[in-house]
Amino acid sequence: MLKKIKTNRIPFLDNYFITIGDTCYIPKKYFIQCQTIERFKQWSLPLFLHENEHSKRQIEYGIKKWLFRYITNKRFKWEEEVIGYTIEIKKRIELNFSINRDWYFKTLKSYRMATDNQIRLFLDSLLK
C-alpha cells in the first residue's frame, strides 16, 4: 500500500509517476496538487489505484526483486504495467472520465516493453 508521496528528483524520469515500495515519486509539476495520499487520490483516483497496485505487488513480491525484474525483463515490466493500466483505465471508464487512446498508446510505447501490436490489442481489449 502507498503511504508516502515525494517529489521525483530523477532528471531523465521526471515526467513519470514512480512507485517504490510504499512511496510514490511524483513529477515536480504535480506536487502541489498531490502532497499527500489523500490529495493524490482526490486529484486522480485512477492513477492512484494504478500506483497503489504496483506498491502492493512490490511489497508482496519483495521490493528489490520486483524492481530488478522490472528493469531487466521487458515481459515482466509489460505484465506489471498491463495490471496497472487495466485498473487505471477501467476506473476512468467507470467514472466517465475522458480517455485519450493516442496518449495511452504513446505512453505505453515510451516504456519500450511491448510491440505496437501488443499495445493496440491491449487497448482494444479495454476500449471499444
Residue 46 touching Zn ion (CB under 5 A): no
Query: CB 14 → Zn ion: shortest distance, Å?
Result: 16
Cα dihedral value 51, 53, 54, 55, nearest 10 = 90
Query: CB 108 → Zn ion: shortest distance, Å?
Result: 10
Among 84, 87, 92, 114, binds Zn ion (CB under 5 A): 84
Q: Segment 1-20, which members bind Zn ion (CB under 5 A)?
A: none
Q: CB under 8 Å to 34, separation ≥6 — which residues?
A: 5, 26, 40, 43
**Contact string (CB under 5 A) for Zn ion, positions 53-82, x = contact:** ----------------------------x-
Q: CB under 8 Å to 53, separation ≥6 — which residues?
A: 83, 84, 87
Query: CB 36 → Zn ion: shortest distance, Å?
Result: 20
All three cell numbers of 76, joined, read 515482466
Instruction: With beta carbons less than 8 A apart as the criterion, state whether 4 and 40 touch.
Output: no
Binding residues for Zn ion, rule: CB under 5 A, are: 81, 84
